[in-house]
Amino acid sequence: MVQGTEAIFLGALRAGGNFFAGYPISPSTEILVLAAEHASRNPDFKFIQSEDELAAGNAIIGASLAGAKSFTATSGPGFTLMQEAIGYGHEVEVPTVLVNMQRVGPATGMPTMPAQQDVLQTHYGTSGDYYPLVFCPNSVAECYRYAVITFNAAEESLSPAILLSDGFVGHLNEVVDLDAIEVEVVARSRPPLGTGTRFFTGLAHDEKGNPRTADAVIYKQWLSMVKARHEKVAARYRHFECQGNDSSDTLLISYGIVSRVIAPLAGQFAMFRPIRIFPMLGDELREYAQEYERVVVVEANDGQYASLVEREVKRDVVRVPLLGGRINLELARKGLSENLGKEVS
Amino acid sequence: MFKDLLKMELFPTSWCPGCGIGQVMIQLATVMDEMGLGHTNSTIISGVGCTGRMAGYFNVDGVYTLHGRALPVAEAAKLVNPDLKVIVVSGDGDLTSIGGNHLLHAARRNPDLTVLCNSNQVYGLTGGQAGPTTPRDTRTVSTPGGAPYDPVNLQNLMKAGGRYFYARTTVFHQVHFRNCIKEAIAWPGFAFVDIMCHCIENNGRRLGFKSAYEMLQHFRQTYKRATDGAETLEPFEIGIVRKG
């Protein structure tokens, strides 16, 4: 039996993670405790219990620059404080991993009832334009596998990458043989601090790192280079699940824990589950959505992903929000029945 | 030569004519040169602000972090690579205000970092607003009636823990200044150098100084050396207090 949080931590170790900084916050605290215990037994694994999430978010950047594969784990309010570090990591092009175990918000919200209310925050939470790679597991096995993949995506995109889970998946206990999960590990590419004369700056800069804060041409070249790199990396991870249904006119889209909870509805609907939730799987969504008259997004927030799906498929999408930390099949059935105008059993 | 440690091709720097930060940069480069520190064994990490730009002028790997976050970045880098000499340079506004919580806790955890704090007692880059180190009653653009609060006592803050290194110096007292940097770099823990520095354009002129030279003369006349072995630096005393 392995718990989701433990699988994430073990996945991080499998990926070569050797630095953790964090601040205790439920429901992610188990990962911090595991990191502390691991560091106490393994001197090569470094650990800081930071004074706050601002420090933790920036510490993983410093550790990465110094040569470590670094990560942190937090929940909604802490993730909000880490937004500045996420933006900084994108500007400076620093690979690192942030694990967000979502809970009901805004603010302190309902600690620690599970939610999916940080979906938009993962993509639109910091200033400027950036193109984060975000993965959303729905099982303990996937927690492990996608922890490794998030590290790989961070290395390949040279940016902070995000494993977006929730308190429900994080506290799932499932029987799984983690050693049997085959994953590749991408190595560090950038030489650590203390080997060159580089300048890593959060200011807009040229290819040498020298600040260029009033040159639109250089800025646009930089942004398009970064965007192209993220698109290239994203193309390697077109991860999703799909189950067609010839007898249904409706496609249900869900991700993370909600996709597990509503899995029994597969006989009545076609199902689509994005695992790489950002960048959006636009082509795939359009391809599958065109087969069905109606597209429905069931999610544990008030239609955050639905609004983005709508933009991709270019038509109205039905929203079925599961709010207040109560994520169960009965509520999903009720919400679907109300929104689709027919009884869903 | 200290010049080898600087990216001279980027000169002139972004700082105003008469700014004291150049002095901090030259003295740091001089000390690093003397101590054999360079791009293979050192990194300079800064916060945001005028002083923050210094990291980009050194011929070592430099990191210009976010406002206030130099210490978390530096502490993590040092933990990952203990052999690396990690030097933090930043302004008093950055380190004590927006980075104040990190300063408090970095000092408590006592990592082997050297922190050079450029104390010009004002937010220079944003045009001269008051900060936590601005003396009471000082007129700035954000305190037109005079700063209403007593400034933070950095010496006492640094001495709050059982182990500390706090040096106060000025950009005028160059030999003393260099010695402070040298001893701070050699100190095996968190070493904080509080450097009294002048900002003529966004503070000095408003205070009535006509030139950077006048501000330097002010440091010369106001600051005196503390007696050897003093455990506390009195106001306007320069010196080092430490406990290992």
Average pLDDT taken over every residue of chain A: 97
Could you tell me the two tokens for A326? 């109560």
From first CA to last CA, the distance across chain A in angstroms is: 32
pLDDT of residue A118: 98
Residues 6+ apart with CB under 8 A from A193: A65, A66, A67, B43, B61, B63, B77, B81, B84
Which residues of chain A lie closer than 8 angstroms to B45, CB-CB?
62
From first CA to last CA, the distance across chain B in angstroms is: 32
- Give the domain B2-243 fold: Rossmann fold (3.40.50)
A7 touches chain B (CB under 8 A): no
Is a pLDDT exceeding 90 seen at residue B122? yes
Contact assignment for A61 to B73 by CB distance below 8 Å: yes
User: Sorting pLDDT into bands at 50, 70 and 90, what band is A100?
Assistant: very high
Contact assignment for A48 to B79 by CB distance below 8 Å: yes
For residue A48, the enclosing domain spans 2-185+211-236
Please, what sign has the CA dihedral across residues B203, B209, B213, B216? negative
Domain CATH number, residue A319: 3.40.50.920
Q: Tell me the mean pLDDT in the region B129-157.
A: 96
The C-alpha atoms of residue A287 and residue A293 are separated, in whole angstroms, by 13
- Residue B48 C-alpha, separation from nearest chain A C-alpha, in angstroms: 9
The C-alpha atoms of residue A36 and residue A45 are separated, in whole angstroms, by 9
- Number of domains making up chain A: 2
Partner residue facing B66 (CB), from A58, A67, A68: A58
Return the number of other C-beta atoms located less than 10 Å from residue A119's C-beta.
Answer: 27
- Residue B237 C-alpha, separation from nearest chain A C-alpha, in angstroms: 32
DSSP annotation of A285: H
Q: Tell me the mean pLDDT in the region A24-29.
A: 96
Average pLDDT taken over every residue of chain B: 97
Domain CATH number, residue A175: 3.40.50.970
Question: What secondary structure does DSSP assign to B18-34, as a single string?
Answer: T-SHHHHHHHHHHHHHH
User: Sorting pLDDT into bands at 50, 70 and 90, what band is B1?
Assistant: confident
Is a pLDDT exceeding 90 seen at residue A345? no
Contact assignment for A201 to B102 by CB distance below 8 Å: no
Q: Tell me the mean pLDDT in the region A3-25.
A: 98
pLDDT of residue B25: 98
| A197 part of a folded domain | no
Measure the CA angle with vertex B210, ends B207 and B215; round to 5°: 70
Nearest one of B87, B67, B68 to B77, comparing CA atoms: B87
Max intra-chain CA distance, chain A: 66
Is a pLDDT exceeding 90 seen at residue B200? yes
pLDDT of residue A42: 98
Percent of chain A surpassing pLDDT 70 = 100
Q: Which residue reads 């009965």 in tokens? A: A330
- Residue B101 C-alpha, separation from nearest chain A C-alpha, in angstroms: 7
3-class DSSP state of B5: helix
Which residues of chain A lie closer than 8 angstroms to B54, CB-CB?
none
pLDDT of residue A7: 98
User: Sorting pLDDT into bands at 50, 70 and 90, what band is A112?
Assistant: confident
The C-alpha atoms of residue A41 and residue B31 are separated, in whole angstroms, by 38
Which residues of chain B lie closer than 8 angstroms to A53, CB-CB?
none
Contact assignment for B105 to A55 by CB distance below 8 Å: yes
Contact assignment for A197 to B59 by CB distance below 8 Å: yes
A6 lies in the same domain as A112: yes
Which residues of chain B lie closer than 8 angstroms to A95, CB-CB?
none
pLDDT of residue B165: 98
| A191 part of a folded domain | no
pLDDT of residue A266: 96
pLDDT of residue A131: 98
pLDDT of residue B56: 95
Percent of chain A surpassing pLDDT 90 = 98
| A345 part of a folded domain | no
| A205 part of a folded domain | no
Is a pLDDT exceeding 90 seen at residue A263? yes
Residue type for position A289: A
A68 lies in the same domain as A140: yes
Bigger pLDDT: A91 or A208?
A: A91
Q: Tell me the mean pLDDT in the region A23-38.
A: 97
Which residues of chain B lie closer than 8 angstroms to A46, CB-CB?
76, 79-80
Q: Tell me the mean pLDDT in the region B1-26.
A: 96
pLDDT of residue B222: 98
Q: Tell me the mean pLDDT in the region B31-40.
A: 98
A113 lies in the same domain as A54: yes
Sequence spans of domains, chain B: 2-243
| A307 part of a folded domain | yes
Q: Tell me the mean pLDDT in the region B234-241.
A: 98
- Residue A202 C-alpha, separation from nearest chain B C-alpha, in angstroms: 6
A39 lies in the same domain as A97: yes
Is a pLDDT exceeding 90 seen at residue A208? no
Domain termination residue (choose one: A236, A253, A269): A236
Is a pLDDT exceeding 90 seen at residue B161? no
A221 lies in the same domain as A247: no
Q: Which residue reads 């009884």 in tokens? A: A343
Partner residue facing A194 (CB), from B61, B65, B68: B61
pLDDT of residue B160: 94
Contact assignment for B105 to A51 by CB distance below 8 Å: yes
E strands within chain A? 2-3, 19-22, 46-49, 70-74, 96-104, 110-114, 134-135, 160-166, 173-174, 199-201, 240-243, 250-253, 270-274, 276-278, 294-299, 318-321
Contact assignment for B40 to A46 by CB distance below 8 Å: no
Is a pLDDT exceeding 90 seen at residue A144? yes
ipTM of the complex: 0.96
The per-residue pLDDT for range B76-96, each reduced to its tens digit, is 999 999 999 999 999 999 999
Which residues of chain B lie closer than 8 angstroms to A214, CB-CB?
none
Partner residue facing B39 (CB), from A52, A60, A197: A197
Q: Tell me the mean pLDDT in the region B202-215.
A: 96
